[in-house]
Amino acid sequence: MSKKKVVLAFSGGLDTSYCVKYLGEEKGYEIHTITVNTGGFDDNELKEIEARAKNLGVASHKTVDETKNYYDKVIRYLIYGNILKNNTYPLSVSAERMSQALAVAIYAKELKADAVAHGSTGAGNDQVRFDMILNILVPGIEIITPIRELKLSREEEIAFLKSKGVQMNFEKAMYSVNKGIWGTSVGGKETLKSLGMLPEEAWPTQVTKTGTETVKLTFEKGELKKINDKSFSHPADAIQHLQSIAGPYGIGRDIHVGDTIIGIKGRVGFEAAAPILVLKGHHALEKHVLTKWQLSWKDQLAQFYGNWLHEGQYLDPIMRDIEAFLTNSQQNVTGEVSIQLYPYRYQVLGIESAYDLMSAKFGKYGEMNLGWTGDDVKGFTKIFGNQTAIYHQVKEDAGK
């Protein structure tokens, strides 16, 4: 009797390494691992992950590079919307999980797999994101989640793997690290409580730069196309280059506190130098080139888009509608943004754009105007406050 075929989303970390050994040796599955690279791994790391999968005993391993597709389908709209969850977190993991889940679902169909497995726990968001995408795109397929089903702690996973003779850096495995082009999340014992910061050694990118430097980000219709004097054929390449410049300053480190899809609060550390600089630079440019109502409605739609994406609802058609609005809003978001970098911090210096609405031709804020007279302002002020004045007068008359 042939073994049941399972596709396992494999990162090479503790959880997915446990899944290989458990599903293969304890449950008798034929395991086919897939690693979906969303910009977090270089070629050497991908080779190491493939070697680890094969050493663990998988039947086959596949690597899929989704980095540019991930940008095209998701990240560009996070930038257009200046989206930071709870004004802090650039949706580093929640956004990339959509790309990964979609790629896993497609591969499971190609292989005609009996089941799909992933290493999500029962306390986080990823379990919902993966399960929902799989249920929609591969209806009826068996979904196996050993860490969730067995309610395992990281210590129990480590003990199991040691009993199977698996050798890996278990000290490093005490931290859950998810790397991607839009940031890296870091979870450990310090983030399980409401008080505590990750130690320096837990951050994947160490601070090695001192002093300061200025970077100039060039946007064309909302997309990052150039850094300083270097042009890029695709914004994903520009983001990765910016990360190599800003990451060693320790910029973009923080702790995100959020509400999980299943209703509990959670904390996670993250480092996201390039995403933070891109979002803040893009927003600075937008404040100069968009009207106040463009900015206002963008904020409202973008907040919904970010929240719905965070909760795994990428396939909801409303998301395509909002993407169309966000794309249209970027027609004049072209210009250069200068940002000063320092260890652990940054400063947006300003922008230059042909579409800058802060043009001296129309006046200087707080100093002088060129487009209207004092009498114009008197008349405008009276009319602009007319309905509110009527309200207060009627209220006063009614109370007499």
What one-character-per-residue DSSP string does 342-380 give? ETTEEEEEEEE-TT-S--GGGEETTTEESS--HHHHHHH
Residue 385 burial (C-beta neighbours within 10 Å; 0-12, 13-18, 19+): exposed
CA 6 to CA 117: how far, in whole Å?
7
Q: In this predicted structure, what is the pLDDT of residue 311?
A: 92
Structure tokens at 147: 């860490």
Taking residues 19-48, report their average pLDDT: 95
Taking residues 342-354, report their average pLDDT: 97
Nearest to 78, CA basis, from 216, 185, 222: 222
CA 183 to CA 380: how far, in whole Å?
48
Tell me: pLDDT of 366 over 80: no
**pLDDT category of residue 364 using cuts at 50, 70 and 90:** low
Q: In this predicted structure, what is the pLDDT of residue 13?
A: 87
Tens of pLDDT, residue by residue over 68-94, are 999 999 999 999 999 999 999 999 988
Q: In this predicted structure, what is the pLDDT of residue 346?
A: 98
Taking residues 223-231, report their average pLDDT: 98
Averaged confidence pLDDT in the chain: 93
Distances (CA, A) of 8 to 11, 162, 168: 10, 21, 19
Q: In this predicted structure, what is the pLDDT of residue 122?
A: 80
Tens of pLDDT, residue by residue over 151-209, are 998 889 999 999 999 988 777 667 888 889 999 999 999 999 999 999 999 999 999 99
For the chain, counts of helices (H) and of strands (E): 14, 16
Q: In this predicted structure, what is the pLDDT of residue 150?
A: 93
